[in-house]
Amino acid sequence: MLPLLLFLNFLLSASALNDNAFPENFKFGVATAAYQIEGGWDADGKGENTWDHYTHYFPDSIADKSNGDVACDSYHKYKEDIELLKELGVSVYRFSLSWSRILPQGTANYVNQAGVDYYLNLLKLLNESGIEPLVTLYHWDIPQPLQDLGGWSNPLMVNYFADYATVAFELFGDYVKMWATFNEPQSFCLMGYINNEYSHFAPGYDLEAEGSYLCSATILKAHAKAYHIYDEQFRDKQNGKVSIVLVVNWNEPATDSADDMKAQELGLQFGMGIYANPIYVGNWPQLMIDRVANRSKLEGYSKSRLPEFTEEEIKYIKGTSDFFCLNHYTTDLVSYAYEDDMIGVNSSYTLDKGITTSYNSSWKEAQVSTWNHMVPWGLRKMINWVDQNYGHPEIFITENGWADDGSSLDDPDRIEYTEGYLSSVLDAIYEDNVNVVGYTHWSLMDNFEWSFGYTSKFGMVSVDFKSENRTRTPKSSYYWYKCIIEARSLADDCAVPSESSGRSLATNVFAVIISVILAIYYL
Ligand code: GBH
């Protein structure tokens, strides 16, 4: 009977997990972003940025009316953060630079030395600790003076960003071998520039028809310019890599109808292809070009609402990434939702895309950030789609994480989520032969979660936002992740003391019932 029970236990617990070891060079880490953790919003000469402005002037837009004025206070407590990183055993720390801490007005004519020193201290300490930085230049916090000029819907931003990138490469490039220009333009070009009524996201524009595509075009040119500057002026002596962080939910067709298959392609092209295609293939995805041109014409525009790139621009943007930074959290079920009568009613990105999304009710839903569902196999499909569409790039998973309300230091769901998604990464590596080289979990610690304020927690370390000290306390998931990093495999017994077993309660109950039935039968 014992072998049978063991076999059953194996089936129930381990069958879904890939027990291969992570490749020798695979890098484990955690991720954060400047506005979400630093605080010190006006410390030592820092200028105002769009999130300072938005949270101060429109506090009602944030769930708990909070802001990032102090956040985790990492501006003062970065040494503690690095202690936590060392104890965790990570080899990479992904964080972002606050543009207005370095260039308070946004422009490069004046550099704030105190801001520069903050990042130099951080980078030197990471270096001494043997932790490699992956640095994002822009994680959503544009200097307010540049926002006032229209932000990313203003094509002149290309030059301001290029100047900022030049300053950053020059000052920090000796310490940084992995750069990302932008974090998720998919997110801020949509949430910030269209539909603010729903998204509550800085700068809070409602430019549904025009704004998001203008933003996307500007971002692509600004990214490309920064890449070329690195190539021409810094690569020889600094020898680093430059990329851009892109995100999309996996789009799973709701049914196997031809329409829903089409919805999948639309969702992935309008979500990911909009940035990845120009950078890895050349020009916007043809599907987007045709669709927006057609709809624009029917809506009475003289030309497409999607800005056209010149041949020269297409060449300039193509090939400007040395590795693929992929953020991925969750999966949507997608259906084709295009009706002829949509034409002429409204011009918008959303209608151009023409799909609706839903969830499978069996997918576990995160607390507070209820957009986040636990669908580990979606990551494997996502990685494969990126691999196949963009020429087998080296892929780094720069964000992946799970939200809860932070009420307990015991966070079995976060462990279950991370274990499942890491297993999916191993499937992609070993079953599908995709080159995934690293993973930085979102996030090191609880932080300012944009429009959710401090109500939604993604951290492996809890932060007491009520204490002046912003006391940090590791959660169960932190100890679990530490063990996995050490073991470099999911097969090891990294279970933490408590009910956190990495599998669901239902599975456990099922296993116990079956065991009891079998025991009775054999007795
Ligand atoms: C990441 O984006 C961000 O890079 C990071 O800063 C953030 O803390 C982390 O997610 C966790 O949220 O509110 O229903 O409109 C992930 C992609 C895109 C997911 C926007 C949430 C809004 C869903 N995000 N999306 S909803």
Alpha helices in 210-299 (DSSP H): 211-229, 235-238, 258-268, 274-276, 286-298
For residue 359, tell me if it sits in a domain: yes
- Point out the ligand 1 atom lying closest to the alpha carbon of residue 330: 19
- Calpha distance 226→317 (Å, rounded): 10
Helices (H), ranges, 431-491 = 476-487
Determine the atom of ligand 1 nearest the C-alpha atom of 451.
13
| Residue 46 is assigned to a structural domain of this protein | yes
Residue-level pLDDT at 204: 94
Q: Whole-angstrom Cα distance, residue 109 to residue 103?
A: 8
Distance from the alpha carbon of residue 452 to the mean position of ligand 1, in angstroms: 10
Q: Report whether pLDDT(519) > 70.
A: no
pLDDT band at 330 (very low <50, low <70, confident <90, very high): very high
* pLDDT confidence band for 198 (50 / 70 / 90): confident
Q: What percent of the chain has pLDDT over 90?
A: 85
Of all protein residues, whose CA lies closest to atom 8 belonging to ligand 1? 449
Quote the tokens at residue 498.
């408590």
Find the 141 Cα to ligand 1 centroid distance in Å.
15
DSSP state, 399?
A: E
Tokens of 304: 């497409």
- How many Å is the Cα radius of gyration of the chain? 23
Q: How many domains does the chain have?
A: 1
Higher pLDDT, 228 or 7: 228
Distances (CA, A) of 410 to 314, 466, 480, 501: 50, 20, 11, 11
Residue 509 covered by a domain: no
Testing ligand 1's pocket by substitution, the residue of 190, 195, 272, 399 carrying the most ligand atoms inside 8 A of its CB is 399
From 184, 400, 444, mutation site for ligand 1 pocket: most ligand atoms within 8 A of C-beta: 184
Separation CA 342–CA 82 (nearest Å): 52
Hey, whose CA ends up nearest to atom 22 of ligand 1? Answer: 371
Q: Is the peptide bond prior to 443 cis by the omega test (within 30 degrees of 0)?
A: yes
> Which pLDDT tens digit goes with each residue over 351-360?
899 999 999 9
Per-residue pLDDT at 517 exceeds 90: no
Q: Ligand 1 in contact with 98 (CB < 6 A)?
A: no
User: What are the φ and ψ backbone dihedral angles of 457, each rounded to 5 degrees?
Assistant: -115, 130
Which of 327, 417, 456 to probe ligand 1 with, by most ligand atoms within 8 A of CB? 327
pLDDT of residue 350: 86
pLDDT in tens, 369-390: 999 999 999 999 999 999 999 9
CB proximity list for 350: less than 8 A, separation 6 or greater: 194, 195, 208
Average pLDDT rounded to a whole number, residues 63-90:
98
Ligand 1 atom with least separation from CA of 447 = 8
pLDDT greater than 80 at residue 136: yes
Residue labelled with tokens 């034409």: 343
What does pTM read for this prediction? 0.93
> Does residue 168 lie in a domain region?
yes
Measured distance CA(69)–CA(490) in Å, rounded: 39
DSSP line for 41-100: TTGGGPPPBHHHHHHHH-GGGSTTS--SSSTT-HHHHHHHHHHHHHHHT-SEEEEE--HH
> Element (H or E) spanning 13, and its range?
helix 2-13
From the alpha carbon of 186, which atom of ligand 1 is closest?
18
Q: Is 460 helix (H, G, I), strand (E, B) or coil?
A: coil
- Average pLDDT of the chain, as a whole number: 93
CA of 398 to the centre of ligand 1 (A): 13
Distance 511 CA to ligand 1 centre (A): 36
Rounded Cα gap, residues 430 and 25, in angstroms: 14
Q: Which two tokens stand for residue 165?
A: 């990138």
Instruction: Report how far ligand 1's centroid is from the alpha carbon of 287 (Å).
Output: 26
Q: What is the pLDDT of residue 209?
A: 77
Q: What confidence score (pLDDT) does residue 509 get?
A: 53
221: nearest Cα among 288, 293, 315 = 315
**Measured distance CA(215)–CA(217) in Å, rounded:** 6
What's phi and psi for 442, nearest 5 deg? -95, 110
Cβ neighbours for 42, distance < 8 A, ≥ 6 positions apart? 48, 52
- Options 399, 416, 419, 449, the catalytic residue: 399
Entry field: residues in the chain? 523
Q: Do the domain assignments include residue 10?
A: no
Per the annotation, the verdict on 184 as an active-site residue is yes
CB atoms within 10 A of CB 11: 12
Alpha-carbon span 291 to 352, nearest angstrom: 7
What pLDDT score does 11 carry? 47
Confidence of residue 10 (pLDDT cuts 50, 70, 90): very low
Q: How far is the CA of 245 from the centre of ligand 1 (A)?
A: 13
* Helix-helix angle 412-430:376-389, to 10 degrees: 30
- All residues at 6 or more sequence positions from 510 whose CB lies less than 8 Å from its CB, including other chains: 12
Report in angstroms the alpha-carbon separations of 215 from 74, 137, 208, 211, 441. Answer: 30, 17, 11, 6, 28
44-59 burial code (b ≥16 CB/10 A, e <16): eebbbbbbbbbbeeee
Answer whether residue 514 is part of any domain. no
| Catalytic choice (48, 80, 132, 184) | 184
**pLDDT number for residue 516:** 57
Residue 145 lies in a domain: yes
For residue 310, the CA-to-ligand 1 centroid distance in Å is: 32
Q: What is the domain-level CATH number for residue 199?
A: 3.20.20.80
- Residue 481: exposed, middle, or buried by beta-carbon count in 10 A (0-12, 13-18, 19+)? buried
Q: Which residues constitute the domain of residue 300? A: 18-502
From residue 451, alpha-carbon distances to 445, 448, 515 in Å are: 17, 9, 47
371 CB within 6 A, ligand 1: yes
Question: Beta-strand (E) ranges in 375-510?
Answer: 395-399, 436-442, 461-463, 472-474
- Residues in Cβ contact with 222 at an 8 Å cutoff, skipping those fewer than 6 apart: 157, 158, 161, 162, 181, 182
Answer whether 184 contacts ligand 1 (Cβ < 6 A): yes
| 1 within some domain | no
